[in-house]
Structures are given as structure tokens and as C-alpha cells.
Amino acid sequence: MDYANGGIEMPATSEGSLPRPDLPQMLQMDLDIGDFCSNWAHCDLLSAYLARMVSHNRLDSLLFSNLYSSALNELLETVFRVHGKSGKLECSVRRRDGLDRIELVFPADEETFRVYREAIEKLSGGNAEKLYLEALFTEDEPDASLGLLELGVDYGARLSIDRTADGRMCLVAELALEDEKE
């Protein structure tokens, strides 16, 4: 992965900033973007399966799995709606201690990349919550950025995007889903 020039990074909306260590990978799933987008239920299936796989050793596996599945599903639904024409979708999940990272690499032309960049820019401003609520209660079709806004505002996720060496894009979400005090 090339995190060189052009990477956009959003600080977590919660107080403080999550570190970005090189997190060990737990799982990776690769599939063709066309196959993935052939059925909407793939978002639910993938998120439920991966959430179950990575939740067994958490403080509360059921609660964690439920939250993880919700967050991952929103990311996958966003990719389902906004992606480039053809290529491979890679979904890898990483973790160190209480920090989970979800990386989605998928085909993206400039227009696709722009949609994600604008969504993340909304989160980096001071009125992210207001924008999230506006997107949530719009009379129109849900905006493609709604899921990302929710992750940033509601889950305190730190989101970033970048171009990969092969011309696809990488969407990264870092989350701390478990309250260590629980």
C-alpha cells in the first residue's frame, strides 16, 4: 500500500487522536467488485461473517460483533454504491489491542475518489455532526457519504483514503469499539 502523497486523513471526532501503528492483519477477503455488487445482501453477509470471525476474543464478543458488523456494513454499502467500473475488492481487517482497522481497496476513478474525499472533508470540519444530521434527515435519497459520516460522528472512527500503486483506492476506518472500562 502506498500512503505517499495525496493521502487524506481525518482526526477522530472524539477527543484525542488514534495512533496509527502497523496493525497485524487478521483476515483478508478478496473478490471481484462486479461479483460483490451483484447482490446487495453481500454487504450484510460479509459484515456479519467478518464481525463474527474477529469478535471471539473481545471483552464481550456479542456486543462487539454487533457493533463491528454495523460499522463494516456501512462501509461496504458505501463501496457497493460508489466504486469504479472493474477490478478487485480487497477487504482486510487488522487489530492491535483495542484498535481495529478496516481497509477496503477497490477500483475507483477520479469521480469515485472525489466522492470519498468530500465525505471525509465534511468530517474534518467543525460541523460534522450537523452535516451528519442533515444527511440523515434529508427528504432525498440517502447521500453516499451518510455511512461514512455516521462512522466518523457516531462511532468516533478515524477515516482516511489514499490511492494504491495499482490505481485503485484504499478506504481505511480505524475504530475503538470497546470501552476498556466495561
Partner 1 sequence: MIAEKTTQAFQWTYNENDQEFALHGSLRPQNAEELSGCISELEHSVANVSGKFYVNVRRLVRMNNVAFQAFACKILDLVHGRSDLNVHVTTSSVVGWATRKFAVLETMSDKITVSEYDSEFYPGQSFVEDSEFIHVLRTQTKLTWHHEKDLLRKHGLKPGMQVADICCGIGDFAVLMQKEFSPDRLVALDHSKSSLDYARQVAADFGIKGIDYVFGDAADMLLEDDQFDFVTCRHSLQVFDRPELILKELFRICKPGGRVYVSNEKNSHCLGEPRGESIQWTYNEVAKLWHHFDMDIEIGPKSRRLMLEGGFEDVTIGSFMVTSTDGDPQGFADVIASWKNLFAGKMASERGDDAAFVERFAKGFDDHIFAALHPKGYAGWPIWVASGRKPL
Q: Which three cell numbers stand for residue 145?
A: 457519504
Interface with partner 1 includes 53 (CB under 8 A)? no
Closest by CA to 173, choosing from 142, 150, 139, 141, is 150
Among 48, 84, 88, 98, binds partner 1 (CB under 8 A): 48
Among 11, 59, 85, 96, binds partner 1 (CB under 8 A): 59
Interface with partner 1 includes 73 (CB under 8 A)? yes
* Minimum distance of partner 1 from residue 151's CB (angstroms): 10
| Stretch of 13-21, 25-33, 35-43, 111-119 contacting partner 1, by CB under 8 A | 35-43
Q: Are 5 and 147 in contact (CB under 8 A)?
A: no
Q: Which three cell numbers stand for residue 133?
A: 444530521
CA distance 163 to 175: 21
- The interface mask with partner 1, positions 117-156, x = CB under 8 A, is ----------------x--xxxx--x---xx--x---x--
CA distance 22 to 42: 28
Largest CA distance in the chain: 44
| Stretch of 57-65, 87-95, 108-116, 117-125 contacting partner 1, by CB under 8 A | 57-65
Q: Do strands 99-106 and 158-163 pair parallel, antiparallel, or not at all (unpaired)?
A: unpaired
3-state helix, strand, coil in the chain (%, to 5): 40, 20, 40
Q: Which residues bind partner 1 (CB under 8 A)?
A: 39-41, 43-45, 48, 56, 59-67, 69-70, 73-74, 77, 133, 136-139, 142, 146-147, 150, 154, 177, 182
